[in-house]
Amino acid sequence: MRLDPATGWCHGVRHCPSVNFNERPAGEISLLVIHNISLPPGQFGTGKVQEFFQNRLDVTEHPYFAGIADLRVSAHFLIERDGAVTQFVSCLDRAWHAGVSSFEGRDTCNDFSLGIELEGTDELPFTEAQYRSLNALTEQLQAVYSAITTQRICGHSDIAPGRKTDPGPAFDWARYRAALEKGEGQ
């Protein structure tokens, strides 16, 4: 995969454009937020996350969907269990992934962050393929957006404590950070 700085789109990944985005107020990109998602919860490979981020989710297919029917959300990227990467929003635009949030005293993290969703749950370990893709994608993002240092990579739970718990205790932060330091995503 290769990130095109001029367009904010990655080549070599699936593109599944979402309408749930808008312009960044200042154009700054200095934070990376890691999330997890599965739809229905705990089920993988359903394609429902893609439908949800594109406002195409059939809310009659599962009881859980009725509770999220009115939400308009997106992330820049989704990494599925097999490591496949899908991009929904250009990195140059503001995806709607963080919600009410604050990082180092600065509110509204969507204004200056990129969001990566990992297909998973708080409790289930993420896959080898997901960590490989996450490392490679993170290195691409850091190469283009130098303000995203390792210290400026966090979980959704870090910027929305008490409201969000993802990526959860199953996410191996030490492994992820060590791989980034070694450049293992190349």
Q: Tell me which of 23, 104, 117, 139 is the catalytic residue.
A: 117
| DSSP 8-state assignment for residue 109 | G
Q: Beta partners for 78?
A: 86, 117
Known catalytic residue: 104? no
Buried b / exposed e over 59-78, threshold 16 CB at 10 Å, is eeeeeebeeeeeeebbbbbb
What whole-number distance in Å separates Cα of residue 11 and Cα of residue 86?
Answer: 10
Greatest distance between any 2 Cα atoms in the chain: 46
What whole-number distance in Å separates Cα of residue 52 and Cα of residue 181?
Answer: 34
DSSP structure string for 37-64: E-SSTT--S-SHHHHHHTT---TTS-HH
Name every residue whose Cβ is closer than 8 Å to that of residue 135 and which is 6 or more positions away in sequence.
176, 179, 180, 184, 185
CA-only gyration radius of the chain, Å = 15
Catalytic residue IDs:
117
